[in-house]
Amino acid sequence: MSSERPDNDVSTTRRRSPLVAASVAAAVLLAGGGGAYWAATAADGGDGTPSAASGGGSAPPPLALDDAGTPSAPSREGIAPGEPDPHGGRLVYRASGKLPDGPEKAAVQRAGGTVTAAEVTRLAKALGLAGTPRPEATSWKVGSDGDGSGPVLRVNKQAPGSWTFTRYGSGGTDNCKKGAVCSVAPGGTGQPVDEKTAKAAAAPVLKAVGQDGAALDAGQLMGSVRVVNADPVVDGLPTYGWATGVQVGPDGQVTGGAGKLKAPEKGDAYPVIGAAEALERLNAAQPPAGEIGGCASPAPLSDGVGCGARTGAERPATTVAVKKAVFGLAAHTSGGEQLLVPSWIFSVEPAGGVGDTVTQVAVDPEHLTRKPVPGESAGGGDGTTKDRAIRSYSADGRTLAVTFWGGVCGTYTASAREDGHTVRVSVTEKRDPDKVCVMIAKELTRTVTLERPLDGRKVVDEASGSVVPRA
């Protein structure tokens, strides 16, 4: 894969928010709530059906995104949820000079299939881990059990195979007693290695995950640990939100990391809009000046007035300069399925600020639709929905157990329709629409009693029609 990035005639520096921390985890951003759910394994899988790139003039199916193509937000570090942005109100993005048009069409890249034990073994070897991958529910595990002090690699079975690695567990060198101050960092103490050394240490890992041709940035430091961030090029296009992060300690050893093991598969191609129209849509999607910061909770106050109406005088708009526009692929989800969507990647820089990046979906809006996010109803206002994406299943006799991502306030039941070849499973959620609930997801399991044992029949998600992988 090439690391070259197409761009227009202006350039800027790019600031990264930290991708991985000493204790690595994968995040699932939940639309509408502004929060993130952190888990030891990533929230992969979903109800999208991989398909071949459209051709022959046939119209592609509507692209259903959980966020309907809502633009990414620039990082605003240090701002608590519900607090106003001290740098100003509504952001208005402005470009000087002509913006590029981009191609006429581009394909969505979908995370299809499952990760094999051989693929996990390849990554484990690159990390210096010995042992055979062991299945644990919806993930693979390689590494120490015992007191948890040894290295451990976890890889989600469902594509794209989100993985996390830590060389020092909770029982290792960073396990401080209550009230004590840790003075020894995982990987040793001392000065961080230089960027060249860090990239060399990360190279075997990046090769194992198929990202040895990715664009690298080794400028991030976490104390004495240097992080190598790799943005892969997929189908000849740069990506955003699909990065791999490899942590390298001061001894030159890889101490942690996170990323995706399995390359995405090419899906349907869609007509796309140019950078100028995408920038207009990016600006149109910004909240009104008086709503910056929003509410810490979606609930109205006791008098029925939302907190957004109490912000007082509208804050002035802040103009943000667009320094570069690149056509590429940005990470989104469809029913929980991770995919890369044709997007414009804008390098931006507020006046007197530091360079940052925002993205806007480039797929023609006529081809976009929206799927309910976790905790939402599919309609009707009674809190009932059947849109829960089933991630995996296990079977024991007539008992079929299915896993899925759900909210903390919902009540979930599973049901099945059977024939001689297929078992179609639905997961139904019931929520009280008047109850205030935090937008947090967790992995859940529900069981169904079949009329007869599964006996080789396919398990299909009733809502999407996609085949559900065995855990």
Report pLDDT digits (tens) over 292-327.
444 433 333 333 343 444 444 455 678 889 999 999
Res 192: pLDDT: 94
Q: Does residue 160 have a cis bond before it (omega within 30 degrees)?
A: yes
Closest CA to 409 of 379, 373, 442: 442
pTM for this prediction: 0.61
Q: How do residues 257-305 score in pLDDT, each as one tens digit?
A: 999 999 899 999 999 999 999 999 988 877 655 444 444 333 333 333 4
Average of per-residue pLDDT across 116-120: 94
Which range, 119-128, 349-358, 394-403, is most confident?
Answer: 119-128
Question: What is the dihedral sign for C-alpha 1, 241, 323, 229?
Answer: negative
Res 402: pLDDT: 92
* Calpha distance 245→290 (Å, rounded): 37
SS3 345: strand
b/e burial code for range 282-307 (CB count within 10 A of at least 16 → b): bbeebeebbbbbbbeeeeeeeeeeeb
Of residues 70 and 214, more confidence is placed in: 214
Res 89: pLDDT: 55
Closest CA to 374 of 362, 387, 384: 387
CA atoms within a 13 Å half-sphere pointing along the CA-CB vector of 462: 16
* Calpha distance 390→115 (Å, rounded): 17
| CB count in 10 Å sphere of residue 160 | 29
At 173, list the tokens. Answer: 């060198």
User: What is the pLDDT confidence band of residue 371, given thresholds at 50, 70 and 90?
Assistant: low
Res 12: pLDDT: 31
Q: Are strands 422-430 and 458-461 parallel, antiparallel or unpaired?
A: parallel
Q: How do residues 405-430 score in pLDDT, each as one tens digit?
A: 877 777 888 999 888 888 989 888 88
Res 168: pLDDT: 80
Of residues 135 and 84, more confidence is placed in: 135
Res 231: pLDDT: 92
Q: Cβ distance 358 to 422 under 8 Å?
A: no
Q: Which contiguous run of DSSP H or E holds residue 275?
A: helix 275-284
* Calpha distance 342→136 (Å, rounded): 34
Question: What is the dihedral sign for C-alpha 170, 171, 173, 177?
Answer: positive
User: What is the pLDDT confidence band of residue 385, given thresholds at 50, 70 and 90?
Assistant: low
* Calpha distance 283→196 (Å, rounded): 39
* Calpha distance 155→168 (Å, rounded): 17
Q: How do residues 21-75 score in pLDDT, each as one tens digit?
A: 332 222 222 222 222 222 222 333 333 333 434 444 578 888 888 765 555 544 4
